[in-house]
Structure 1
Amino acid sequence: MGYFSSVYDENFQDAVTCNGGVIRNGREILFQAFNWESHKYNWWENLEKKVMHLSKSGFTTAWLPPATQSLAPEGYLPQNLYSLDSCYGSLHQLKALLQKMNQHKIRAMADIVINHRVGTIQGQGGAYNRYDGIPLPWDERAVTSCSGGKGNRSTGDNFNGVSNIDHTQTFVRKDIIEWLIWLRKTIGFQDFRFDFAKGYSAKFVKEYVEESKPIFSVGEYWDSCKYSPPEHRLDYNQDNHRQRIINWIDNTGGLCAAFDFTTKGILQEAVKGELGRLRDAQGKPPGLMGWWPSRAVTFVENHDTGSTQGHWPFPSDHIMEGYAYILTHPGIPTVFYDHFYDWGDSTHDQIVKLMDIRKLQDLHSRSTIKIVEARSNLYSAIIGEKVCMKIGDGSWCPNGKEWKLATSGHRYAVWHK
């Protein structure tokens, strides 16, 4: 089976133009510049010291944690959206960081948390669903009826325990758009990551991107993969899972990419001895990457799945196989802070080497891929006709003297012409 997307076009060329905002030419390499504990460590100043190194390593964008004042130190329970003094540092420190990133041509990605907002005082039903005394002083009409407000029903999933924002309200969308434009034009963010994108309709993300014009945007549409009882085993076919992500991207008008949770789910099972999972029934990569690579932001781990939360962790002894896969394949790869800075020089240097190969061989989100082998202990593929790679214990190398070994490590190798 194929998949349905009303806006999909193989020749979408290098961008979907969005009134000046553009999904770029697919040569991004993202860096997730934090983990779940980063708020404890004067983070903006810590990152400022690393900007030059990140630039030399080849990252194009650094996704920063939520910069707004929040009732949770990690930033995901925002209250005063216009206050950028947070547990990560002051507004002054943030602006210094963004200025340095701009000097070194790394785009700053803001973490946009607009599914929910903690009120300042109690309103209807005793819930904290009024925002008196701070900018955007909304009343209960701004909160969905399913989370204790006077607004309409939610257009997505409910985020429990907090007032969920009603994006159907015109005044709410107008205020959010003005805030997003302020983040871009006044503060200096260039890219957006939409948190908990399942919580409200994708058509609102489309409107927010069209009006605020980020250079690049990505949504966290985190849906559950399909597992089968009794041993809760991941199904081989995850087409319905990736179709739901496709539908979400489609409903943003194709203006917003999405994190490739399908690829993560399959890849972290595959590396444990089921590498045959990495080829779908049509011979393509089995994640979002195989169906709409230019909108697939691939990753091995993030602050939720790994770090100290560990909700859905990648097997730690296979991390480099994961990076060998996403950094050579189509899609837009993301490197996680912990692996780059906390796992020691060896892991860091191996990731940099893979990034170098991606750049030197001009691999990008739309690079062609031919899967050569996909069986339990071996996966191999040729990407862009100029790079080939393998992961797993099985022995394999490409045919032809034109192929030269570019890098290798535990259970992976990469060649180029």
Structure 2
Amino acid sequence: MGYFHNIFGGCHDQTDTGAVIRDGREILFQAFNWESHKHDWWRNLDRKVSDIAKSGFTSVWLPPPSQSLASEGYLPQDLYSLNSAYGSEHLLKSLLHKMKQHKVRAMADIVINHRVGTTTGHGGMYNRYDGVSLPWDERAVTCCTGGLGNRSTGENFNGVPNIDHTQEFVRKDLIGWLRWLRNTVGFQDFRFDFARGYSAKYVKNYIEAAKPLFSVGEYWDSCKYNGHGLDYNQDSHRQRIVNWIDATGQLSAAFDFTTKGILQEAVKGQFWRLRDSQGKPPGVMGWWPSRAVTFLDNHDTGSTQAHWPFPSHHIMEGYAYTLTHPGIPSVFYDHFYDWGDSIHDQIVKLIAIRRHQDISSRSSIRILEAQPNLYSAIVGEKLCMKLGDGSWCPSGKEWKLATSGHRYAVWHK
């Protein structure tokens, strides 16, 4: 694997926030699910770092690091306390150290849309933060969620105090915390949770101040449905995600929820969905591939929450699509480690082909077929792939089969 590191590993040492996005060779790994907090998680991941690195992942998204009212980490209280249900601060730091040795970046899950108060204040609400780091008062909480701050600059996350990012003292404290995660704790990348909850201009502000190497936002919006299911045209959906990316000063990528929504319908025998009216891929990937993080499932959509799961017997078709296409692909822990060696090894093979053919987030794509039971495309100059039951292979003797599996095949020159 040293060979790949020499070619692609150059961006690891760069401090320039945009370098990783410009390079376009990221492959992310979401290293947890909704139940991970029950399983001594930092120790579990410590044992897997070597395999994760060897498989070709560049960045590993870890669950929220701070002490939280809910074990999963998404109701943070004491932001500077790194003792969580996933393990102790000592174990987390030792995991981050090991990842650094293996040249894999650690991505922190940044939950700053809301924060659970420790004591009651104005109106009898838990909207004060006494006795913990960052001891804010009621002004730090938006007035729409029980505080004395301004109105939210995004959508409310109901049931808990939402942070008022318009307050200068709040932003200053959050920047201090993000810089600490970045420079002292050792996280290099950020994932912004519930990015619809506050204005993207603050994300821009935080990225510029803390300088993560790579950032991705969770801008999860509902796709457009009609009486018969998912609309063919999801341009308004991807436009909203693109607008969010733009408003971060183009500094952050975003999860490509549009591609997920379309792809999980397409694999059920509707591959015509995978070509938009302009002949391009129909998700964010088709419009702004260098900022589109493609994925099949995460801890919300899949795992035990299963809010919007990818059809399980079509997983490999999904990965054959995302791992050969432009955009920045992400792989989910469950699929990689819990669904058997065969799936793990097929994913590793697809990653190796992606890297060997030098497919990047901005690689060109020519969609050749998009019929109900067949999809095929040429990506870059030297990779060709197909999905579905339709019999098809590329014309020309120079194409050699690189890998194949249930309802997918990939060729290279």
Q: Give the TM-score normalised by structure 2.
A: 0.96
* Mapped contact 1:391–1:411 kept (Cα < 8 A): yes
* Mapped contact 1:143–1:163 kept (Cα < 8 A): yes
| CA apart distance, 1:412 | 0.2
| CA apart distance, 1:378 | 0.3
Moved more, 19-28 or 91-100: 19-28
Please state if 1:107 is matched with 2:105: yes
- Candidates 245, 257, 282, aligned match of 1:286: 282
- For 2:153, the equivalent position in structure 1 comes to 155
> What is the distance in 1 between the residues matched to 2:40 and 2:358?
36
Please state if 1:402 is matched with 2:398: yes
> What is the distance in 1 between the residues matched to 2:334 and 2:352?
19
> What is the distance in 2 between the residues matched to 1:54 and 1:148?
43
Please state if 1:340 is matched with 2:336: yes
> What is the distance in 2 between the residues matched to 1:19 and 1:411?
42
Q: How does 1:65-214 map to 2 (within 5 A)?
A: 65-214=63-212
Q: How does 1:204-243 map to 2 (within 5 A)?
A: 204-229=202-227, 231=228, 233-243=229-239
Q: How does 1:365-380 map to 2 (within 5 A)?
A: 365-380=361-376
* Mapped contact 2:258–2:283 kept (Cα < 8 A): yes
Moved more, 23-32 or 68-77: 23-32
- Candidates 46, 51, 54, aligned match of 1:53: 51
Higher helix share: 2
Question: SS of the counterpart of 2:350?
Answer: helix
> What is the distance in 1 between the residues matched to 2:288 and 2:122?
44
* Mapped contact 2:289–2:326 kept (Cα < 8 A): yes
> How much is the aligned-residue C-alpha RMSD, in angstroms?
1.2
* Mapped contact 2:238–2:258 kept (Cα < 8 A): yes
> What is the distance in 2 between the residues matched to 1:26 and 1:302?
22
- For 1:43, the equivalent position in structure 2 comes to 41
* Mapped contact 1:35–1:338 kept (Cα < 8 A): yes
- For 2:297, the equivalent position in structure 1 comes to 301
> What is the distance in 2 between the residues matched to 1:42 and 1:333?
27
| CA apart distance, 1:20 | 2.7
- Equivalent residue letter for 1:291: W
- Candidates 386, 389, 394, aligned match of 1:393: 389
- Candidates 248, 255, 271, aligned match of 2:251: 255
Q: Moved runs in structure 1, 4+ residues, more than 2 A?
A: none
Question: SS of the counterpart of 2:404?
Answer: strand
> What is the distance in 2 between the residues matched to 1:22 and 1:135?
31
> What is the distance in 1 between the residues matched to 2:128 and 2:298?
32
* Mapped contact 2:182–2:212 kept (Cα < 8 A): yes
> What are the superposed Cα offsets for residues 331-389 of structure 1, whole Å, 9 maximum, x if unpaired?
00000000100000110110000000001000010000000000100000000021000
* Mapped contact 2:15–2:213 kept (Cα < 8 A): no
* Mapped contact 2:280–2:286 kept (Cα < 8 A): yes
> What is the distance in 2 between the residues matched to 1:215 and 1:355?
22
* Mapped contact 1:145–1:152 kept (Cα < 8 A): yes
Please state if 1:361 is matched with 2:342: no
> What are the superposed Cα offsets for residues 228-279 of structure 1, whole Å, 9 maximum, x if unpaired?
12x5x00000000000000000000000000000000000000001000000
> What is the distance in 2 between the residues matched to 1:207 and 1:161?
27
* Mapped contact 1:145–1:153 kept (Cα < 8 A): yes
> What is the distance in 2 between the residues matched to 1:316 and 1:126?
46
> What are the superposed Cα offsets for residues 120-159 of structure 1, whole Å, 9 maximum, x if unpaired?
0001111110001111110000000100100000000100
> What is the distance in 1 between the residues matched to 2:273 and 2:357?
27
* Mapped contact 2:165–2:171 kept (Cα < 8 A): yes
1:308–1:54 CA distance, 2 compared to 1 (3 A): same
> What is the distance in 1 between the residues matched to 2:136 and 2:87?
27
- Equivalent residue letter for 1:196: F
- Equivalent residue letter for 1:113: V
- Candidates 27, 30, 33, aligned match of 1:32: 30
> What is the distance in 2 between the residues matched to 1:223 and 1:127?
29
> What is the distance in 2 between the residues matched to 1:361 and 1:125?
60
| CA apart distance, 1:23 | 4.8
> What is the distance in 2 between the residues matched to 1:388 and 1:297?
21
> What are the superposed Cα offsets for residues 13-62 of structure 1, whole Å, 9 maximum, x if unpaired?
x99xx983225111010000000000000000100110011111100000
Question: SS of the counterpart of 2:202?
Answer: helix
- For 2:264, the equivalent position in structure 1 comes to 268
- Equivalent residue letter for 1:397: C
- For 2:4, the equivalent position in structure 1 comes to none
- Equivalent residue letter for 2:237: H
- Equivalent residue letter for 1:386: K
> What is the distance in 2 between the residues matched to 1:393 and 1:365?
27
Q: Could you tell me which runs of 5 or more consecutive residues in structure 1 were left unpaired when the two chains were aligned.
A: 1-13
> What is the distance in 2 between the residues matched to 1:135 and 1:305?
32
> What are the superposed Cα offsets for residues 180-238 of structure 1, whole Å, 9 maximum, x if unpaired?
00001110000000000000000000000000000000000000000012x5x000000
- Equivalent residue letter for 1:340: F
1:172–1:218 CA distance, 2 compared to 1 (3 A): same
**Count of residue correspondences:** 400
Moved more, 121-130 or 320-329: 121-130
> What is the distance in 1 between the residues matched to 2:362 and 2:67?
38
